[in-house]
Amino acid sequence: MIFLILSQIIEDEFIIRFKDNFSKELFVKKHKNIIKKEIYGLNAVVVKTKDINKIEKNSSIVYIQNAINYRITFIPNDSLFRKYQWNAYVTYLDKAWDITKGSQTIGIAVIDQGVDYEHPDLVAQFDPSNKGYDFIDNDNDPLPNKNITTEIHGTHVAGIISATMNNFIGVAGVGNFRLYSYRACDTIGNCPDYNISSAIIMASKNPNVKVLNLSLGSPIGSNIIKEAIDTAIKYNKIVVAAAGNDGGFVNYPAAYDSVIAVGAWDTTNQKASFSSWGKELDIMAPGVWIISTINSNLQATNTCGMNEVLKGYACLSGTSMATPFISGVIGLILSINPNLNFNQVKDILCSTAEDVDLVGFDKRTGCGLVNVYKAIRKAQQYQ
């Protein structure tokens, strides 16, 4: 399978952003019949109306925008899959593990569909008292609908970052980290920008979270997401996002300057044909035939070319799979040097990457293919 990223305007839904010093209670009371929800962390609301022009002009309104749906969907892929984790070798991750395997003092937020924190390969990475938050069902339990095969994306992303190592089962994640699941996407991959924004801000306010993984995107930018990312930067968080799978320009939010944009590298040692590109692209990571966790009760057949039924694991492809690899690498870097900021981490990744296309930075592959071992060595020496 390849994960494609699509988007569209949500019909009849609008985001109204107020000035921070404006008390919106009277507005909410007056328009209670059309208020869909208040946006966590920002002085903003979502309204559902066929005529936004009926909202009275108010000098305290900063902007009104259409709500935008960010979406993940599956496309079947008949190519043969490999059985082993080739991504660990081509990036020298296995060599980096001799220096660090990560630390659970480093929290990584998966802003996605829900994560199956009950999975045997993931359960040890979650704090039982704070697993994250569910912005779809509006509760503290971000568990996905485990019986639906279209809600495996978040669990797959989480496993790439931090499936438990050396436990005699399944796969090994990039490192040993504390995971947090912020369920901003529903069972079929619809991810409204106001949910993503709320998740970014909540994760940013979690002092244990250092890295935010966004394996989603859209060709359309969103004011509400940009503002949330700005909030994350103020909290000294590092935001990593998928470049996109349409082979065209880098998607949002990866296209924002304050986000590390990740493209996909394939098994033939080149940019994956579907991987989006452009001047906003920062780094490449393996994103084709990547084996990882899925909901523990689901089975995958002939995954990665194996003629056997696997329960709780599957191979998927996309920049959605490359992105958590980089999030995990950043977790390793921060486990060595936890005080590094966004610009320093980006410099470490770019200055140690393997130059795989034109000399220096290029629009097709950014800084190049991540070299985890060199990145960790530089983090040890970084001043």
- Residue 112 bears catalytic tag: yes
How far is Cα 227 from Cα 51, in angstroms, rounded to an integer? 25
- Residue 153 bears catalytic tag: yes
Of these residues, 112, 116, 134, 266, which one is catalytic?
112
* Structure tokens that stand for 159 in this block: 């496993």
Q: Are 157 and 215 in contact (CB under 8 A)?
A: yes
- Residue 119 bears catalytic tag: no
| Cβ atoms within 10 Å of 302's Cβ, excluding its own | 14
Strand order in the sheet with 61-75: 35-38, 44-48, 2-18, 61-75, 190-192
Q: Are 353 and 369 in contact (CB under 8 A)?
A: yes
How far is Cα 34 from Cα 326, in angstroms, rounded to an integer? 41
Residue partners of 315: CB distance under 8 A and separation at least 6: 1, 81, 82, 289, 290, 291, 292, 300, 303, 304
How far is Cα 368 from Cα 146, in angstroms, rounded to an integer? 37
| Side-chain half-sphere exposure of 191, counting CA atoms within 13 A | 33
Of these residues, 204, 218, 320, 335, which one is catalytic?
320
Of these residues, 7, 119, 134, 153, which one is catalytic?
153
Q: Do β-strands 44-48 and 35-38 pair in parallel, antiparallel, or remain unpaired?
A: antiparallel
Residues with a known catalytic role = 112, 153, 320
